[in-house]
Amino acid sequence: MYDHLVFIQQQLKQRQIEPALQQFYRIELPVGTSHHQFYAYNELMFLTNAGAIPPGTLIHSDSKARRIPMDIQSLEGIDDYSGTVSIEFPFPLEVETTVEFIQIVTK
Amino acid sequence: MTRIRYHIIQLEVTDAGQVVEIRHRLPSNYGRCTGYIARHVKGISSDVDIPEIGLVAIEFNSRKQLNINDLVGYETQVDQLPDYQELNIPLESGQLVTGYYLDTQKSPDPFDTTKEWFRPYQVAIYLKCEIENKKRHVRSSCIHSATVEAAAN
């Protein structure tokens, strides 16, 4: 199993980013949500539970955009988003969904 | 002496709402990036200008610097190339240029969910870069003839 925390630490080192804080950041989205937007300036948000998000969902930010693929359950990679982050679901949510990130606040 | 080089990154957009990943390596002798243009080059045909067909984001030096967030539009008539948007990014040798292009076109008919209106198209990102010539390059044939001459003497 790929160690996400090791991956994040390596990414920060390679990109010469010094973290001021690392913590979990969870967004609880109620039934019927089709779009959610939040701000993550001077932060990196690593999405940790892409498998819980409906395939076809578009997550885009200033630095990265990703559409959740059908085979997300078989994938190991995690992406980071920063700036204005938007989550657009392909249809309004039918169940309450929590989107979880590892939030890195940069110095 | 500084020389200018233009580098083109071509992107193919084949689906509505597609995210096209940019992962590109610039030649290692490029020292600085000083400008860019992101524009539609082929595929879309419309009688009117479309101010936004997509979004582009580009990071330089292997994700160390996010420098470009811009809209890409469509123009019916292009008389001349637009001016380069200014950048001033020192490039680290051999590092990646990364980012994405996101198609944001909307259907002309808001009730049409089939996406049959969509036609594949191409977007190009033009980067204007500088090469600094610090050393004078000597052709190997010159070195060879000089060596032979020195040996003969």
Judged by CB atoms closer than 8 Å, whether chains meet at A67 and B17 is answered as yes
CB contact under 8 A, B99 and A63: yes
Q: How many CA atoms within 13 Å lie on the side-chain side of A60?
A: 23
The total of other beta-carbon atoms located within 10 Å of residue A23's CB is 9
- Contact between B86 and B52 (Cβ < 8 Å): no
Q: Which 3 state secondary structure label does DSSP give B141?
A: helix
**Amino acid identity of B69?**
N
**Which pLDDT tens digit goes with each residue over A26-66?**
999 999 999 999 999 999 999 999 999 999 999 999 999 99
Q: Looking at CA atoms only, how far is residue A11 from chain B in angstroms?
A: 10
Report CA-CA distances (Å) from A83 to A62, A68, A104, B2: 5, 19, 12, 35
Q: Which residues of B touch A63 (CB under 8 A)?
A: 57, 59, 63, 66, 99
C-alpha–C-alpha distance, residues B22 and B4, integer Å: 23
For the stretch B139-145, contacts whose Cβ atoms lie closer than 8 Å and that sit 24 or more positions apart, written own/partner, are: none
**Closest approach of B94 to chain A, Cα-based (Å):** 14
Share the mean pLDDT of chain B.
87
- Whether the CB-CB separation of B73 and B40 falls below 8 Å is answered with yes
DSSP structural state of residue B117: T
Answer whether residue B87 shows pLDDT above 80: yes
Nearest chain B residue to A84 by CA distance is B69
Chain B partners within 8 Å of A14 (Cβ): 62-63
Q: Which residue reads 């001459």 in tokens?
A: B149
Mean pLDDT (chain A) is 94
To the nearest whole Å, the CA of A55 is away from the closest chain B CA by: 14
Q: For B74-86, how does the pLDDT look when each residue is reduced to its tens digit (9 = 90+)? A: 998 887 878 999 9
Residue A76 has pLDDT above 90, yes or no: no
Are A83 and B55 inside 8 Å of each other by CB?
no
- A59 in Cβ contact with A47 (< 8 Å): yes
Nearest by CB: B64 against A16, A64, A65: A16
User: Over 80: is that where the pLDDT of B134 sits?
Assistant: no
* Closest B-chain CA to A82: B66
Q: Do A64 and B62 touch (CB under 8 A)?
A: no
Average pLDDT over residues B89-97: 93
- For position A3, what pLDDT does the model report? 87
Q: Name every chain A residue with its beta carbon within 8 A of the beta carbon of B62.
A: 14-15
CA distance B99 to chain A (A): 6
The length of chain A is 107
Are A60 and B69 within 8 A, CB to CB? no
Inter-chain residue contact A62 with B66, CB threshold 8 Å: yes
**Which residues of chain B make contact with A106, given a CB cutoff of 8 A?**
none
| CB within 8 Å of A28: residues ≥ 6 apart | A96, A97, A98
